[in-house]
């Protein structure tokens, strides 16, 4: 047995699905309105995961113009058969269910193969010369899981849908995965909704169409009765057998803030070992309650994990891990010898297609910083650093021009209500650095034009949490850089790293003064003081 830490893929990585090919494991997660779509992770030991590619990398595969906040791509499943990888998913705002495939998991995936079925959370089982497609479905207004036989190369459905289960009584039976293990067919689903009552249940039958019998110890995974746990809302799982004959479950969960039932990191990917009892049912230890520190027979030893990200923008293509909101307007992003040039149009960061790039926030305590050089900053243009949840919830520190003066400002947007909480005039400049330091209570923003970091202000972590949004959302917070309203800027570096919980930035302190705007035209690098 070896010790490992959960989550194994931290930050917004929900709805994990996994497949093994030889000694290699591949895992995909949902991507919603963010581009590129459906990240692909690779691991040898199930604990250390590397982002190697994305299944959906162009607008034909991933049309997101119509995607609402937390719309777009829901719940992918990855499978491997006869030399091909298949990924099946749903674009809930444009086209519905489809799959793509490839013989090179690190290369380009196929054009979409569309499937005429209205449910979500599709999955595939390749079994004895047949391919089974299962998904959520409604029959006479009742939610259940439907099964078809299909051709995965064309999307043609050969049979009429047959409801094979309505679940065990929990709301929203979804996320079906059908397996042929031994002489039984196992159907594993999520129930209870992807919130604090989430759970995973399993059923089995002698053939794919049932009748399916419920496991007597359902749910096999849930934290709905473990309200003191630092992990909540576990469910939406997939299982895999490793090369040593050991079984594992990957699933989503959340880590709420310590002081509230709120979460800002999104639904993350967790791992638990699975054993089989004498009656042939899968068992998660401790009655399906998971811990941050776990033990299991990993196929290879776990390695230390250091959460960090760095980019000097020297590559002509964006580094894996950067994301854009919906389909990017490609001419707004140019690479030069100096760095990444952003060419903003009229859009703001609150629009559906902001000009900027983002990384997932992977830890509560984290810092991110960037340095930029101004090329052109027209009146009201903005360039800077953002903590971004979606179009209606985001914080940003930025440089702007107002009445021929340069200012550094902090805006907070919550429920689509924007408030400027700091604005400080600067002497003319060409370069500036921004930093954000996050913890479970605040995102604190800083700027620097010379040596010392100066605190600009802060916004509550609770303002970027899923539970507080005005519509049902499913994503998590990102950190990144942006340009808006005709700005032309070159970003020369970006770094993010996890911080210890007692981290304190060595910057200029706050005072009791609370200036909104410093009027001295000769002002340069004085501390800004907010509560």
What are the φ/ψ torsions at residue 522 (nearest 5 degrees)? -95, 5
> What is the structure's pLDDT at 451?
83
Give catalytic residues, as residue numbers.
Answer: 15, 174
> What is the structure's pLDDT at 514?
33
> What is the structure's pLDDT at 503?
78
471 burial via Cβ count (<10 Å: 0-12, 13-18, 19+): exposed
> What is the structure's pLDDT at 508?
58
> What is the structure's pLDDT at 140?
86
> What is the structure's pLDDT at 525?
34
482 burial via Cβ count (<10 Å: 0-12, 13-18, 19+): buried
∠ CA 239-200-168 to the nearest 5 degrees?
A: 130
Written as six digits, the tokens of 109 are: 């995936």
> What is the structure's pLDDT at 259?
83
330 three-state secondary structure: helix
Distance CA 28, CA 53 (A): 10
Distance CA 193, CA 76 (A): 17
For residue 71, give the DSSP letter: -
Distance CA 332, CA 341 (A): 8
What domains are there in the chain, each with its CATH number?
2-296 (2.115.10.20), 308-498 (2.60.120.200)
Q: Which residue is listed with tokens 């179009």?
A: 391
Q: Which residue is listed with tokens 């039932």?
A: 261
Using CA of residue 102, residue 108, residue 109, residue 112, what is the dihedral sign?
A: negative
Beta carbons of 164 and 174 less than 8 angstroms apart: no
Beta carbons of 486 and 346 less than 8 angstroms apart: yes
Written as six digits, the tokens of 519 are: 């009027």
User: pLDDT tens string for the chain (531 positions)?
Assistant: 999 999 999 999 999 999 999 999 999 999 999 999 999 999 999 999 999 999 999 999 999 999 999 999 999 999 999 999 999 999 999 999 999 999 999 999 999 999 999 999 999 999 999 999 999 999 888 999 999 999 999 999 999 999 999 999 999 999 999 999 999 999 999 999 999 999 999 999 999 999 999 999 999 999 999 989 999 999 999 999 999 999 999 999 999 999 889 999 999 999 999 999 999 999 999 999 999 999 999 999 999 988 999 999 999 999 999 999 999 999 999 999 999 999 999 999 999 999 999 999 999 999 999 999 999 999 999 999 999 999 999 999 999 998 889 999 999 999 999 999 999 999 989 999 999 999 999 999 999 998 899 999 999 999 999 999 999 999 999 999 999 999 999 999 999 999 998 876 655 543 322 333 333 333 333 333 222
The DSSP H or E segment spanning 57 is none
Written as six digits, the tokens of 478 are: 């990102």
Q: Which residue is listed with tokens 């950067």?
A: 322
Taking the mean position of all CA atoms in its chain, how far away is CA 43? 18
Taking the mean position of all CA atoms in its chain, how far away is CA 267? 7
> What is the structure's pLDDT at 505?
64
**Which of 127, 118, 121 has the alpha carbon at shortest distance from 161?**
118
Beta carbons of 187 and 238 less than 8 angstroms apart: no
The DSSP H or E segment spanning 282 is strand 282-283
Distance CA 283, CA 280 (A): 9
């Amino acid at each position: 047995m070896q010790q490992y830490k959960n989550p194994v893929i931290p930050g917004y990585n929900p709805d994990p699905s996994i497949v093994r090919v030889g000694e290699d494991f591949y895992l995909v997660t949902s991507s919603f309105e963010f581009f590129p779509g459906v990240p692909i992770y690779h691991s040898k030991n199930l604990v250390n995961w590397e982002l190697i590619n994305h299944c959906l990398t162009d607008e034909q595969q991933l049309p997101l113009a119509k995607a609402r906040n937390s719309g777009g791509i829901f719940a992918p499943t990855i499978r491997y058969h006869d030399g091909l990888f298949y990924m099946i998913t749903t674009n809930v705002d444009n086209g519905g269910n489809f799959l793509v495939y490839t013989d090179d998991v690190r290369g380009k995936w196929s054009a979409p193969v569309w499937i005429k079925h209205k449910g979500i959370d599709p999955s595939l089982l390749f079994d004895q010369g047949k391919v089974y497609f299962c998904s959520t479905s409604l029959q006479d207004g009742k939610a259940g899981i439907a099964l078809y036989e299909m051709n995965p190369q064309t999307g043609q459905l050969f049979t009429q849908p047959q409801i094979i289960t309505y679940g065990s009584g929990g709301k929203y039976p979804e996320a079906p995965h059908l397996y042929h293990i031994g002489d039984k067919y196992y159907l594993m689903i999520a129930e209870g909704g992807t919130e604090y009552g989430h759970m995973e249940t399993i059923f089995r039958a002698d053939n794919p169409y049932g009748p399916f019998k419920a496991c007597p110890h359902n749910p096999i995974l849930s934290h709905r009765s473990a309200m003191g746990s630092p992990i909540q809302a576990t469910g939406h799982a997939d299982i895999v057998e490793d090369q040593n004959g050991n079984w594992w479950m990957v699933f989503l969960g959340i880590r709420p803030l310590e002081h509230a039932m709120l979460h800002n990191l999104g639904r993350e990917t967790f791992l638990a070992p699975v054993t089989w009892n004498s009656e042939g049912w899968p068992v998660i230890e401790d009655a399906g309650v998971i811990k941050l520190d776990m033990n299991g027979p990993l196929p290879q030893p776990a390695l230390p994990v250091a959460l960090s990200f760095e980019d000097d923008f020297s590559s002509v293509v964006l580094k894996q891990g950067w994301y854009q909101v919906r389909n990017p307007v490609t001419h707004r992003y140019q690479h030069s010898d100096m760095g990444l040039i952003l060419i903003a149009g009229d859009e703001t960061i609150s629009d559906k297609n902001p000009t900027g790039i983002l990384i997932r926030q992977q830890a509560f305590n984290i810092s991110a910083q960037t340095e930029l050089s101004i090329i052109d900053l027209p009146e009201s243009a903005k360039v800077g650093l953002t903590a971004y949840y979606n179009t209606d919830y985001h914080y940003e520190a930025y440089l702007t021009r107002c009445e021929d003066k340069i200012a550094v400002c902090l805006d907070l947007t919550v429920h689509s209500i924007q408030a400027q909480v700091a604005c400080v005039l600067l002497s003319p400049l060409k370069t500036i650095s921004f930093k954000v330091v996050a913890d479970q209570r605040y995102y604190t923003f800083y700027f620097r034009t010379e040596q010392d970091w100066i605190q600009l202000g802060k916004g509550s972590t609770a303002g970027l949490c899923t539970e507080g949004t005005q519509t049902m959302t499913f994503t998590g917070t990102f950190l990144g850089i942006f340009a808006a309203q005709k700005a032309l800027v070159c970003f020369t570096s970006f770094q993010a790293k996890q911080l210890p919980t007692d981290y304190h930035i060595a910057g200029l302190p706050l005072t009791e003064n609370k200036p909104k705007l410093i009027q001295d035209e000769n002002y340069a690098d004085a501390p800004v003081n907010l509560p």
